[in-house]
A and B are shown apart, each in its own frame.
Chain A
Amino acid sequence: MLILFMGFFITPVFAQEITNPSLIIDSIEVPAEKFNVVYEIRQLYHLMLFMLLVGK
C-alpha cells in the first residue's frame, strides 16, 4: 500500500523537463578547405626534437 501510495507522488517528478546546467551540446561542420593546411605546431615540435638530437 505504501509503495502504491508513493508512486502517485514520485513518478510525476520524472516527467518534469529540467535541463542540466552543465550540459553542452554543440555540432560543428568543418569544411574540406580547412584541411588543406600544414600543421605548424607539429612542425615546430619536430624542429625542436631535431635541434635536441643535433645538440646531443
Chain B
Amino acid sequence: MFKKILIANRGEIACRVMKTARKMGIKTVAVYSDADRDAMHVEMADEAIHIGPPPAAQSYLVIEKIVAACKESGAEAVHPGYGFLSEREAFPVALQKAGIVFIGPNPKAIAAMGDKIESKKAAALAKVSTVPGYLGEISDAAHAVKIADEIGYPVMIKASAGGGGKGMRIAWSRDEVADGFSSSRNEAKASFGDDRMFIEKFIVNPRHIEIQLIGDKHGNIVYLGERECSIQRRNQKVIEEAPSPLLDEKTRKAMGEQAVALAKAVGYDSAGTVEFVAGQDRSFFFLEMNTRLQVEHPVTEMITGVDLVEQMIRVAAGEKLPWKQSDIKLKGWAVESRIYAEDPYRSFLPSIGRLVKYRPPVEGSADGFTVRNDTGVFEGGEISMFYDPMIAKLVTHGPTREAAIDLQSEALDAFYIDGIQHNIPFLAALMQHPRWRSGKLSTGFIAEEFPDGFASRSPAGEELMVLSAVAATIDHLNNARRREITQQMHGKPVRFAARRIVELGQVRQNVHVEGGIAGPVKVTMLDESGAGSDVLELASKWYPGDPVWSGLVRDIDVSVQVRPILNGYNLAYRGISTPARVYTEREAALAALMPVKAAADMSKYLLCPMPGLVKAVNVAEGAEVKAGDALAIVEAMKMENILRAERDGKVKKVNAKAGDSLAVDAVILEFA
C-alpha cells in the first residue's frame, strides 16, 4: 500500500479523500492556489504545496505543477477527485512517465470513455442501448443545425469534454441550435480548454439514473447499484438518491450488467459511473460514462457500506476487489442535497463572500439513521469566485425513502449559514414537495414545479402551529429573562400576559403560553373566539444568541433557524422564511393601526444581481430598448449572465462600464 498520496483537488472532495487516506494510515499531500492558502483541505493535509495563482487554468489544471508537487513531496500516487484533471487522459500519462500511480482508471479507458463521442461508439459496440445522435465532430453552427434537422427536435448540444452542465444547451428550433452552439462552445473552451461539441436527441420527461461500478486491475468489475439524480436545475444536479424509486430489481440488474459490459469492453479498472437517461416506462439509454469518482458517490456508499475512495486506492495499488457481484447488497435509502452558494430568491444567481456563520447539523449514526456532511469549508472561510460554488453535500440515510427524506429535511432545517446566500431554503422546501415525496421525478422537475422561481410560502396548518409555538416560546423565554434584570423597583414583580399574538408575516395566530425558563413550555392555539384547540408542548435548550432553535415539539425533533430582527426574529423552517413578532393583545391591536408602507420602486433601475465583473454594457444613454433586449453582461463564477430588459423603455443613465467590479444591487443603469 502507498505510504503517501497527493490529492490533486480542492474543497470538499479533497477533504473527503484525505479522510479515507488518514483512516488507511496513508499520509496526504494537498496542493493549493493563492486563493486556497487558508482552505480546509490545506489545513487537513499532512503537507501542502503551493501551485500558483487562483485561476484553475494556472494552478489545479496544470499537469506539470502537480507532477512537480508529487516529486517534491515524495507522493507515490495521486487521487484526482472530480473535475479539474480527473478525466484528462494526459494526466495519468504524465504521472506514469514520472513513475507515479494514478488513483483512477488507465489512460486508455479514459480516452475511450472520457470523451463523450468516443464513449458512444464504444457503447454501441458493447451493445449498450444508446440515444440517437451524431457522433462525429461538428465544424460550425451551420453544421450543427444540419445535424439537428436530421435527428429531429428537441436536441441537446454538449461539450465533448464537459460535465456539470457547463457548455450544455437544449435547443428546440434551428435558431436555438445556432445560438446555443456558439455560446456552448465558448463556455466549453473557457471551462475545459476543449471546444469539441456533439449533438443528440433530447428525451422528453426523462429521468437521470446512473450505475456506480468499480473494477480492479485483475479484470473484476462489480456494480454498486444505481443513483437517481433527476432533481436538477439547468442540468446541474441538486438532489441525488440511492436507490432510484423508479427501478425494479429486473431493470436494476439489466442496467448494471450493461454498465459492467461496457466497462469490461474498455478494460476499466477503477471507480466509474455509467449514466443513463431513463423513460418513465423504465426504458433506458446510455448517456455517458464518467471515469472518475462522482460528486454524489456518498449515497452509494451509504446504501452499500462501501468506502469508494478506499477501494479506488486499493485497486490502484494493485489489490483485488474484496467481493463478487453477489456480495453487493443494498440497504436502506440515502438522500443527498448539494448546498450551493447561490441565491434561491434571485433565480439562483451565484453568491460569493465570507462565511460569517457556518453551522452544519451534527453528523453521526444511530439506530439505522445517519447524517453525513461532506464539506470543504469552515466558519470564517471564503467562498471564492474562482471555483465551484458548492459549499457542502448533506447526506442522510435511513431504513426507508420516507425516513431518509424526513431526516434530510430536519438536517437542512438545522443547517445554518450566514454571510452569503445559499440554496438551503429551496432544498428544505423541496423536501416537503409532494411530488418529490411520491417519487414521480423527471429532470424537468424543478422547471415544472417552480416555473416562476423560488419564493418562501406562508405557513399554514401544522407548519403554522409549529412556527407559532416556537416563536411564542422564544418570546416567553425572552420576557422571563428580562424580568431578571437588576435595578428593579421593589414590590410586585413585572407581569406578562400569557395570551400572545404571533404575527408571522401576514399570518396571525393567537396563543396562550405557560411554563418556566427551564421546563417545557405549553403553547395552546386559540381560535378567533379565544377558545383553545391544539396544545403543543415544547422542550428545548435554546437560549438567546443561539442560531438554531432545536428541540422537541410534541415529542418530534424540530429545528428552526432564528435570526434576530427589530422586535422579533426571522424564522426559517422547511423552506419557509418569515419574520415573527410576538405581541400582547394590546400591542397587536395598536400594531394593526400602523400604516403599511410600500417598498421603494426599483423598477426604473437595472441592478447588478450578484457581485461580479461587467463584461459589457450593450446600450448607451438615450437608447430605446425593448423587453428582452440584452442590456449588459456580468460575469460571476465563470458564468456569463446576460441581463435583459424586463419591459420597453428608454435608458436615462449608464453607471457602469466594461471592466467594473460591481457589488450586488449596484445600479448598472437607470431608465427614464
**A and B physically associate:** no
